[in-house]
Structure 1
Amino acid sequence: MSKPFELPLTIEPEHELRFVGPFNRPVVTIMSLRNNSALPLVFKIKTTAPKRYCVRPNIGKILPYRSTQVEICLQPFIYDQQEKNKHKFMVQSVQAPLDADLTDLNKLWKELEPDQLMDAKLKCVFELPNVDTNAENNSGGAINSGSGSGSGAGSVGANISSTSADGLKSEPKLSSDDMPSNLPETAEIVESLSGEVKALRESNSELRKENLHLKDQITRYRSSAAIKQVNEPYAPVLAEKQIPVFYIAIAIAAAILGLLLGKYLL
């Protein structure tokens, strides 16, 4: 029988990356890569959600018939069981050419042709801790405590049922365990917003005072202008009264001068 074809790169796990919560803290899973060929293998790991994951290393080389491990860290987030997870990873690999410089993998990767790459896709699966496992652990503790104290089988059964019920009631809270982790950020946001509101109120109060001051100045200016307009018509009247007196004085002076000249000539 012929030997079955073996891919140059073997990935473990092969199809899914599982992350077990709670997700209010970083969750790490390990991916194993094995080179099954007689040539060095260069790989690069990509994801559809690069801001959610930290991959170390995301690019590297594997010597012939050797293995390496990649650490994938999921960043804390608010987990919702109703939300569908669409995160995926893609492992790209290629057998390094004989004359390739393996000291600068980024430069080597840019020089490769896309049709030379081998792709493998894995989907991400989010899981919460098993409820049944926690209930069994709690019930086991209750049985041990009951036998140590010398209590009867009835009290042991009651402890088991009560512990299991408590585990079932408290377990759904795991889906919201990550919410307290965001409380400090929320408090900082509320505090900063309250400070901005306070500053806006102070600015509004100052603008109101300035507006009232400007209104007061405008009122004073209008009142002073009105007084001047009331006093202005009396000046022409005085001028009109002064003009006839001036002419009368000139006429009297001319008459006196004429009399003097008449007397002198006669």
Structure 2
Amino acid sequence: MSKPVFESPLTIDPEHELRFVGPFNRPVVTIMTLRNNSCMPLVFKIKTTAPKRYCVRPNIGKIPPYRTTQVEICLQPFIYDQQEKNKHKFMVQSIMVPVESDLTDLNKLWKDLEPDQLMDAKLKCVFELPSAEANSENTSGGGAIGVSSGSAGGGSVGVNTSSASAEAVEGKPKLSSEDKPSNLPDPADYLEIAGENKALRESISELRKENLHLKDQITRYRSSPAVKQVNEPYAPILVEKQIPVFYIAIAVAAAIVSLLLGKFFL
């Protein structure tokens, strides 16, 4: 006799890997589908080893019995290096709670739980870039690619795949228009250009200050009384300061007359 198969209370789709299809110079979104297979409400929480690189909505929530919810995982833009090994992982923690439990404050409920009550499921992240062969296949046989993507995760998952993979299915014309941001310069080039522009502005400012300073010095030099004009005749300084002989003779005569008058009156 075969052993009975017990269905897990929580089904995660995709089950083991979260695929993100580039280009990665813009946000890339993928969808995770969670299904509650039990007759009790289920509370889940999603954690990642790289919280600064991803935006998860919602990262905590509740799923009614036999219902499904979707979680949107957005990978933030970054510089992709194929040689770099990706070690990003996600962990989905879940627990079944009684129907009469208060589910208004899920964070408080989660803090009150015992760690041994939680069920864990781990998924690894996979980064992919659309290859040239895939682009050529999209132009000729986009329908076949759509079937393969749908068969990987079921009918509902084929609709909720990442936006980048959906663009790859639609064909080459739309893919080429979406790929235009990948041809933009690297952010590091922008920083280098901005630095050079700032240095040039500072050099221009210094040259302007030096020019104004030279103009001011020339103006002061020209307005100084010690500076002679170009067309002014040269006159020696000693000649300008000499006393005329006529005035000296008058002074001597006056002295002699004053002596004679002094002797006459005495």
User: Same fold, TM exceeding 0.5?
Assistant: yes
List per-residue Cα deviations over 1:124-160 (Å, max 9, x = no partner): 01111143232345578xxxxxxxxxxxxxxxxxxxx
C-alpha distance in 1 between matches for 2:185 and 2:100 = 52
Q: Amino acid of the residue matched to residue 97 of structure 1?
A: P
Q: Which residue of structure 2 lines up, in the alignment, with residue 55 of structure 1? A: 56
Do the aligned partners of residues 189 and 66 (structure 1) sit closer, same or farther apart at CA in structure 2, a change above 3 Å counting? Answer: same
Q: Which residue of structure 2 lines up, in the alignment, with residue 134 of structure 1? A: 135
Q: Which residue of structure 2 lines up, in the alignment, with residue 161 of structure 1? A: none
Q: Amino acid of the residue matched to residue 20 of structure 2?
A: F
8 A contact 1:48–1:87 mirrored in 2: yes
Matches within 5 A, 1:99-248: 99-137=100-138, 181=184, 183=186, 186-188=189-191, 190-191=193-194, 195=198
C-alpha distance in 1 between matches for 2:202 and 2:36 = 63
8 A contact 2:23–2:182 mirrored in 1: no
C-alpha distance in 2 between matches for 1:186 and 1:120 = 41
Q: Which residue of structure 2 lines up, in the alignment, with residue 41 of structure 1? A: 42
C-alpha distance in 2 between matches for 1:52 and 1:130 = 24
What's the TM-score, normalizing by structure 2? Answer: 0.55
Q: Which residue of structure 2 lines up, in the alignment, with residue 247 of structure 1? A: none
List per-residue Cα deviations over 1:50-99 (Å, max 9, x = no partner): 11111111100000011111111111111111111101000000011344
C-alpha distance in 2 between matches for 1:17 and 1:133 = 20
> Root-mean-square deviation (CA), in Å?
3.2
C-alpha distance in 2 between matches for 1:200 and 1:47 = 48
C-alpha distance in 2 between matches for 1:88 and 1:15 = 10
Do the aligned partners of residues 93 and 139 (structure 1) sit closer, same or farther apart at CA in structure 2, a change above 3 Å counting? Answer: closer
C-alpha distance in 1 between matches for 2:11 and 2:28 = 24
**Range 181-190 or range 95-104, more displaced:** 181-190
8 A contact 1:53–1:73 mirrored in 2: yes
Q: Amino acid of the residue matched to residue 26 of structure 2?
A: R
Q: Amino acid of the residue matched to residue 35 of structure 1?
A: N
Q: Which residue of structure 1 lines up, in the alignment, with residue 74 of structure 2? A: 73
Find the structure with the greater CA-based Rg: 1
Q: Count the aligned residue pairs.
A: 173
Superposition deviation, residue 180 in structure 1: 5.1
C-alpha distance in 2 between matches for 1:200 and 1:139 = 57
Do the aligned partners of residues 97 and 189 (structure 1) sit closer, same or farther apart at CA in structure 2, a change above 3 Å counting? Answer: farther
C-alpha distance in 2 between matches for 1:133 and 1:195 = 44
Do the aligned partners of residues 99 and 86 (structure 1) sit closer, same or farther apart at CA in structure 2, a change above 3 Å counting? Answer: same
C-alpha distance in 2 between matches for 1:132 and 1:180 = 19
Do the aligned partners of residues 98 and 135 (structure 1) sit closer, same or farther apart at CA in structure 2, a change above 3 Å counting? Answer: closer
Superposition deviation, residue 199 in structure 1: 6.0
Do the aligned partners of residues 201 and 135 (structure 1) sit closer, same or farther apart at CA in structure 2, a change above 3 Å counting? Answer: closer
Counterpart secondary structure, 2:190: helix
Q: Does 1:90 align with 2:55?
A: no
- Unaligned stretches of 5+ in structure 2? 142-178, 210-266
Counterpart secondary structure, 2:135: helix
Counterpart secondary structure, 2:103: coil
Q: Amino acid of the residue matched to residue 76 of structure 1?
A: P
Q: Which residue of structure 2 lines up, in the alignment, with residue 210 of structure 1? A: none
C-alpha distance in 2 between matches for 1:137 and 1:195 = 46
Q: Which residue of structure 2 lines up, in the alignment, with residue 23 of structure 1? A: 24
Do the aligned partners of residues 194 and 117 (structure 1) sit closer, same or farther apart at CA in structure 2, a change above 3 Å counting? Answer: same
C-alpha distance in 1 between matches for 2:79 and 2:87 = 15
- Unaligned stretches of 5+ in structure 1? 141-175, 207-266
Q: Amino acid of the residue matched to residue 8 of structure 1?
A: P
C-alpha distance in 2 between matches for 1:55 and 1:28 = 10
Q: Which residue of structure 2 lines up, in the alignment, with residue 209 of structure 1? A: none
